[in-house]
Structure 1
Amino acid sequence: MKLRYTVLSISLMFFTNTYAQKMKSGSYPKAEKGSQVDNYFGTQVADPYRDLENDSPATKKWVDEEVAYSQDYLSKIPYRQEIKDQLKKLWNYEKISAPFKEGAYTYFYKNDGLQAQSVLYRNSRRLKTAEVFLDPNKFSEKGTTSMSNISFNKKGNLAAYSISEGGSDWNKIIIIDTETKKQIDDTLVDVKFSGIAWQGDEGFYYSSYDKPKEGTVLSGMTDKHKVYFHKLGTKQSEDKLIFGGEKMPRRYLGASLTEDERFLVITAANATNGNELYVKDLQKTGDFVQLVKGFDINASVIDNDGENLFIYTDKDAPNGRLVKANMANPTPDKWTNVIPETENVLGITSGGGYFFATYMIDAIDQVKQYDKTGKLVRNIELPGKGNIAGFGGKSSDQDVYFTFTNYVTPSSVYRYNIAAGTSRQTQRPIVDFQSENFVSEQVFFTSKDGTKIPMMINYKKGLKMDGKNPTILYSYGGFNISLQPAFSVVNAIWMENGGIYAVPNIRGGGEYGKKWHDAGTKQQKKNVFEDFIAAGEYLQSKAYTSKDYMALSGRSNGGLLVGATMTMRPDLAKVAFPGVGVLDMLRYNKFTAGAGWSYDYGTAEDSKEMFDYLKSYSPVHNVKKGVCYPSTMIITSDHDDRVVPAHSFKFGAELQEKQSCKNPILLRIEKNAGHGAGRSTDQVIGENGDLLSFALFEMGIKSLKK
């Protein structure tokens, strides 16, 4: 089938030096410089752009000027709108999620194509057609308020959902009767990093912090989480503190209930890795029982069978295992294996009375079905090599659903019959993209210290490997997060136009378990950057691309990856996109929940050795005069209260002041958006249209030739 739109190919014609210099002329907005100097173990460190951490009039003025400067520069890219039109056209297809059952209804999310937010629908035997249950597009005028979570009580007659305004991590919770869809209680406010765990019809557990002082909501530290119980019909001010606070200070707390609502489970952590585990039997009197002490391991309750809890853990198992703990004697030394550790990383879900074990092998998923004793029922046949999500449900379910995708296959939904072990595709998106015309290959390259690293390289068949292919090198490298194959409209347009999209699975992620994660943390963090550099060198050595046609890209911790790489090796690539990045490594722990990232990074206060190491790669502190840095578009948002925009502001100011060549330094600042989740479709298309067109423009491409 031919595409219904005209595919554009890239004409590699270069600007004359005169035209390029004309486009890149003009002075940058000037940020106010101060005299702030900090002392770390006797070392004086200047922080001239400290004021950019504050929402001062001077900062606001500078931000407005940066927005205007960037938009003026981007407006001169001749095919900027053309790229956005391509994105919009391909994006306009129906997207439907895997369904889930709650009470008498089956729910699913659907986006007609270009809706700002996906709509939650439901159907049942009583309904002739699916009806709209909740439409987040009606929450705000421009679709910038999103629904970040929804939870139903066991009977399905009540629901509570949380909303995020402008992308903020601070949420509100709204409670409704599912039959009438009417709100039945006051809205809960100032909720952050929270689940919603119902206890019967009485109410639910949720988590939050004391809100920072006025004027610091988007930057103030949040380090003492609290679990509350909200009883329906009462005011939020009357909610009972269940766990945490001053008497039990923990940075992150999560509350959940087992499906039978017998056990209340609290996970408690001070960092993003390692947690305590507390369990309370609600059928008995008494307090919580602590199953896991300290923060050396990860453990989470997956299911229960009477007094037996099934726990996923990496204790004595860096790749993960499933164990059983009896509440009569639940300490880790009494745990027994249900599904032992293997050489591959394990993920666990449950449904229909069975466990589904997803094993990640070189970032590709395989799934096995086990019974509650740990006996293998079968290996599950999957649609292909890629990324699987789902296989979870209630204990009474006869079927479970899963989605399958990879870099060249749009996400499809499958229904799996638990008893028969058979799968049937229930939803296949109709996308103007011919998967068979593209290649997704996996290669292995060697990093600086000899470690073998896998990388997925994706491109259109027939592409000539002559070193002149525009290439985006994207990765993350932290927090035990694995980058697995997934379809993206943005990447599809890039590849349709002759680009290569490459993703190395570098250290710091979870692709090979805890050891792989730890190999990219604290004073081994530079392994992550060296892996990324080696990936770029591999692509260039094999003539996939060359320096003049390579762009580095990453978001959040991946923004740090790009910032550190471009300051360590400014000659590696032509273009750089540090997105919502952690870029000031000496002060990241001073804002919002940043102190919780210390497992991966360490802090400048830990020791002189840790300070020296952080300072040696901190992007803000390693911008040097006289160096030609890549053409850079720093991406951030005004409501990002996860990685505050001050990181991007300070890095941008340093680069603009010290850049020694004509390569531009832009700050693209999104209004009414946060760290990334919940953005409207228009916002996503706008940002990525600018990213792709800027990359091509800076690589010297004059026009898109039809």
Structure 2
Amino acid sequence: MRLAIVRLIVIFGTLLGASSFCAAQVQPAAVLPARDVLPARDVSLIDPDRTPSMPPSTPQGKDASVLHGTSVSDPYRWLENPDNPSVQKWIAVQNAHTEAVLAAMPDGKAMTARVQQLAITSATRSGPLLANGTLFYMQETPPQPQPQLMAQLWPNGKPRVLIDLNANGGNTAITDYWPSPRAHYLAYGTADGGSELTTIHVLDVATGKVLDDALPWAGGGTTPQALAWDADEKGFTYARFAPPQGNAEVRQFDATLVHHVLGEPTSNDTVVFGQGYSRVAEYRLLSSPGAKQLAVLTNVGDGGPAGVYLRDGTQWKKIIGDEANVRLAAWVGQRLFVASFADAPRGKLLAVDAQGAVSQVLGERDGAIQGVDPIANGFLVTRSWGPDWWVEQYDARAKFVRRLPLPEQGISVGSIAAEQGQNQALISYAGWTTPSRWAEYDARSGHLKAVFKVKPAGDYSNIDVQRIDGISTDGSHVPVTVISMRGITPNGKRPTILYGYGGFDIPIAPNFVGANLAWLERGGVLAYANIRGGNEFGEAWHAQGQMLHKQTVFDDFHTAAVALIDKQWTDRAHLGILGGSNGGLLMGASLVQHPGDYRAVVSMVGIYDVIRHETDFANGAYNVSEYGTVSDPAQFKATLAYSPLQNVQPHTAYPAVLMTTGANDPRVAPWQSRKFTAALQNSTTSDQPILLLTRVNAGHGIGAPFSQRVGNTAIMLTFFAQELGLDAK
């Protein structure tokens, strides 16, 4: 699993359990540093008679959209234009209001201090890759702003730093990296200010010299980065948006695959695949050992099946189409192993040989396929079933060898670094109470040996993990993992935070609770719902939460909340909900559909105006494969029924809400949060705060510096502590 995807899952798939969201050096009262928010240049919009909990009012316009004969009122459309001085002033005033409310919360200093303590762990490592006996990985040493890119001869070489971008304060992040076949070179991508728009650079691994090659517009945000080296290491193929003309901004559509020769100017890079393929094309490039063969998985937008192409000389041959419902692939020797979910909701493995012939290698088994990796003369398969993850070993004839001796419950499997013909593989995993660790697996003996562990800053030995089930509207069982300290038993009113995501095939998997121990040790409860839209039960679980079935996701989440109440863990006065991105849509829909069932909501970089998400923002078009298109009458009707902004009701008592967004977000337009905030503030009859925090030097969360990540954790926990009544002792 590549770095950018791993980071997205960490940030939004396991926020409450992600140590990477736990950091240090935040202002004492959980208030953001001044450089991170817009200054309140004109405070005249704030009524001096307002109390801190009263938000500024927002003027309403008369805009509307007419779709399929239906007029959809859009009174806050004026907030979509970030260059409008009135919008800039509105953002500044909202930030000032949010900071004032947060600063008045008495638990802010203590909560932030504890988060700081718990965040300073030993060095963390992620994204291991093996190339010709050299191990590459990212390493972050708290409170270092950004991870460093490392290399060492595997297994006993001395680690050395290849790339360190911390000199500028952490504003530039490494988005991904690709070693060449013999590890002579390393291509790596960088992006600034959370924008994710990537520039590729090339490093000579032996000398540490960065070459003059700098390739801008190399994906990011709307379409992922992709790169594959030539066998002779003299160049590579990579994904790129069309270079903009003159001083125009790049348009993040119509990505193609282009070829670059080291030392040549980027103007000489030539398109080799994808011209006219799709306006919302996404690519995953996969090289066989030694770069002897090259495959590309192609997607039309996010969340859908992939086509499979093999390069034959200078031509590309389509091997498998969308009908196979392919979701992932990996080279095992010189055969491409493809996970197909057609007529196999848990997945089956197909093999593509050098001539393009396709055969089935492994039929559907227990557990949903999450990954495939080579080892020795066979392969490993990572599987999940709900919140349980495991890894299986198979020999060259696809005969089952063994299940790897990992913990049976409470962990998830991350990256696996392995090479064909090598008996040792590096397995990375983590769990609710287990900080990230790496283990060396021996395919001959079946032995698993720990080789790296993160040393936490707190004691996690007294955490208790339980599971309950909710029964959704169609009778499906929705697992909910409940985490608390031992001795914390259901009493009907425990302050509880319920997390969900529900989309794009992204599973909710066990991850280290990290600095969220600050919540648990005061008697709070954390809960995670395996709702539909994710793939933890296979592709059918995902499909049941897509397009016309999106309401199922919201029903599952409400089912999880009701289960927590029915099992006496909490009640409506002490229940908070949390989500981001697609999970922000989940938060928006949940609070407008069931405003009386939640006491507080934290929603980050969320989608709230689904009607205009597709039509007026770049990444919205990429999301059609997940959400459907409002140009279709049936989908428009279904979308209008759940789209949070259009379902805000006047004179309604809404719960306390904290929304966050980043001004440079390429995935979800910041105006989504502005419009929804304004609608809630103007409609609620409760005295609970409706807050919006806009970070001006941030994006969707990918590549956020360490201090920004701890700010998110500290503010989130401070807000929930205040609103849910967490014990301050």
- TM-score, length-scaled by structure 1: 0.90
- One of 285, 292, 310 as aligned partner of 1:279: 310
1:3 maps to none
Correspondence 1:521 to 2:546: yes
Partner deviation per Cα, 1:440-471 (whole Å, 9 max, x = no partner): 11222211222111111000011142122111
TM alignment of 1:531-542, pairs within 5 A: 531-542=556-567
1:570 maps to 595
Shift in Å at residue 571 of structure 1? 0.5
1:345 maps to 368
Shift in Å at residue 700 of structure 1? 4.1
Q: Describe the SS at the equivalent of 1:185.
A: strand
Letter in 1 for 2:179: F
1:240 maps to 270
Kindly tell me: are residues 619 and 24 of structure 1, through their superposed partners in 2, closer, same or farther at Cα, counting changes over 3 Å?
farther
Q: Do 1:222 and 1:251's aligned partners in 2 also have CA atoms closer than 8 Å?
A: no
2:81 maps to 54
Kindly tell me: are residues 224 and 288 of structure 1, through their superposed partners in 2, closer, same or farther at Cα, counting changes over 3 Å?
same
Distance 2:280 2:724 in 1: 48
Q: Do 2:242 and 2:251's aligned partners in 1 also have CA atoms closer than 8 Å?
A: no
1:173 maps to 200
1:354 maps to 378
2:135 maps to 106
1:186 maps to 213
Correspondence 1:393 to 2:418: yes
2:33 maps to none
Shift in Å at residue 51 of structure 1? 2.1
2:6 maps to none
- One of 146, 152, 165 as aligned partner of 1:117: 146
Letter in 1 for 2:310: V
Distance 2:712 2:646 in 1: 27
Letter in 2 for 1:360: S
1:673 maps to 698
Note the residue ranges of structure 2 that are not aligned, 5 or more in a row. 1-48
Q: Describe the SS at the equivalent of 2:666.
A: coil
Shift in Å at residue 120 of structure 1? 2.4
Distance 1:215 1:473 in 2: 46
Kindly tell me: are residues 143 and 68 of structure 1, through their superposed partners in 2, closer, same or farther at Cα, counting changes over 3 Å?
same
Q: Describe the SS at the equivalent of 2:573.
A: helix
Letter in 2 for 1:207: A
Kindly tell me: are residues 128 and 154 of structure 1, through their superposed partners in 2, closer, same or farther at Cα, counting changes over 3 Å?
closer
Larger CA deviation: 98-107 vs 122-131:
122-131
Letter in 1 for 2:173: S
Distance 1:397 1:329 in 2: 26
Letter in 2 for 1:610: Q
1:97 maps to 125
Shift in Å at residue 351 of structure 1? 2.9
Distance 2:482 2:251 in 1: 40
Distance 1:277 1:59 in 2: 45
Q: Describe the SS at the equivalent of 1:492.
A: helix
Distance 1:469 1:262 in 2: 58
Shift in Å at residue 181 of structure 1? 1.3
Distance 2:277 2:491 in 1: 64
Distance 1:368 1:684 in 2: 34
Larger CA deviation: 344-353 vs 413-422:
344-353
Shift in Å at residue 46 of structure 1? 1.5
- One of 321, 324, 329 as aligned partner of 1:293: 321
Correspondence 1:155 to 2:182: yes
Q: Do 1:206 and 1:227's aligned partners in 2 also have CA atoms closer than 8 Å?
A: yes
Letter in 2 for 1:537: V
Partner deviation per Cα, 1:394-445 (whole Å, 9 max, x = no partner): 2143311112322122122111112211011112222133333111112222
- TM-score, length-scaled by structure 2: 0.88
CA root-mean-square deviation: 2.3
Q: Do 2:383 and 2:390's aligned partners in 1 also have CA atoms closer than 8 Å?
A: yes
2:516 maps to 491
Distance 2:515 2:699 in 1: 20
2:165 maps to 136
1:445 maps to 470
Correspondence 1:78 to 2:106: yes
Number of equivalenced pairs: 670
Kindly tell me: are residues 213 and 658 of structure 1, through their superposed partners in 2, closer, same or farther at Cα, counting changes over 3 Å?
farther
Q: Do 1:24 and 1:663's aligned partners in 2 also have CA atoms closer than 8 Å?
A: no
Distance 2:311 2:655 in 1: 55
Kindly tell me: are residues 211 and 500 of structure 1, through their superposed partners in 2, closer, same or farther at Cα, counting changes over 3 Å?
farther
Q: Describe the SS at the equivalent of 2:597.
A: coil
TM alignment of 1:638-677, pairs within 5 A: 638-677=663-702
Partner deviation per Cα, 1:183-205 (whole Å, 9 max, x = no partner): 21231112212122111321111
Partner deviation per Cα, 1:130-162 (whole Å, 9 max, x = no partner): 332211212x2x212111111111111111110
Distance 1:247 1:598 in 2: 16
Larger CA deviation: 388-397 vs 27-36:
27-36
Q: Do 1:244 and 1:250's aligned partners in 2 also have CA atoms closer than 8 Å?
A: no
- One of 95, 111, 115 as aligned partner of 1:87: 115
Q: Describe the SS at the equivalent of 2:285.
A: strand
Q: Describe the SS at the equivalent of 1:186.
A: strand
Q: Describe the SS at the equivalent of 1:635.
A: strand
1:336 maps to 359
- One of 585, 588, 593 as aligned partner of 2:610: 585
- One of 568, 584, 591 as aligned partner of 1:543: 568
2:644 maps to 619
Kindly tell me: are residues 516 and 157 of structure 1, through their superposed partners in 2, closer, same or farther at Cα, counting changes over 3 Å?
same
Letter in 1 for 2:238: Y
Shift in Å at residue 105 of structure 1? 3.9
More relative contact order, 1 or 2 (CA 8 Å, 6+ apart): 2
Percent identity, please.
Answer: 27
- One of 178, 202, 210 as aligned partner of 2:242: 210
Larger CA deviation: 386-395 vs 413-422:
386-395
- One of 316, 324, 327 as aligned partner of 2:351: 324
Shift in Å at residue 505 of structure 1? 0.3
Partner deviation per Cα, 1:530-589 (whole Å, 9 max, x = no partner): 111111111112211111111111111110001001000000110011211111110111
Kindly tell me: are residues 128 and 374 of structure 1, through their superposed partners in 2, closer, same or farther at Cα, counting changes over 3 Å?
closer
Note the residue ranges of structure 1 that are not aligned, 5 or more in a row. 1-21
Shift in Å at residue 352 of structure 1? 3.1
1:17 maps to none
Q: Describe the SS at the equivalent of 1:627.
A: coil
Partner deviation per Cα, 1:573-614 (whole Å, 9 max, x = no partner): 10011211111110111312221212221121112x221211
Letter in 2 for 1:57: P
Distance 2:292 2:406 in 1: 35
1:69 maps to 97
Shift in Å at residue 249 of structure 1? 5.0
Q: Describe the SS at the equivalent of 2:339.
A: strand
Larger CA deviation: 108-117 vs 562-571:
108-117
Kindly tell me: are residues 172 and 31 of structure 1, through their superposed partners in 2, closer, same or farther at Cα, counting changes over 3 Å?
farther
1:407 maps to 432
Distance 1:163 1:324 in 2: 34
Distance 2:156 2:337 in 1: 38
Q: Describe the SS at the equivalent of 2:532.
A: coil
Q: Do 2:202 and 2:213's aligned partners in 1 also have CA atoms closer than 8 Å?
A: yes
Distance 1:547 1:533 in 2: 12
Shift in Å at residue 258 of structure 1? 1.6
Q: Describe the SS at the equivalent of 2:315.
A: coil
2:624 maps to 598
Correspondence 1:631 to 2:661: no
Kindly tell me: are residues 329 and 432 of structure 1, through their superposed partners in 2, closer, same or farther at Cα, counting changes over 3 Å?
closer
Distance 1:312 1:678 in 2: 29
1:7 maps to none
Shift in Å at residue 253 of structure 1? 2.5
Correspondence 1:455 to 2:480: yes
Partner deviation per Cα, 1:325-368 (whole Å, 9 max, x = no partner): 334453xxxx3221211242013222333211122123211221
Shift in Å at residue 393 of structure 1? 1.4
Kindly tell me: are residues 431 and 214 of structure 1, through their superposed partners in 2, closer, same or farther at Cα, counting changes over 3 Å?
farther
Kindly tell me: are residues 128 and 287 of structure 1, through their superposed partners in 2, closer, same or farther at Cα, counting changes over 3 Å?
closer
Kindly tell me: are residues 250 and 166 of structure 1, through their superposed partners in 2, closer, same or farther at Cα, counting changes over 3 Å?
closer
1:382 maps to 406
Letter in 2 for 1:493: A
Distance 2:277 2:563 in 1: 53
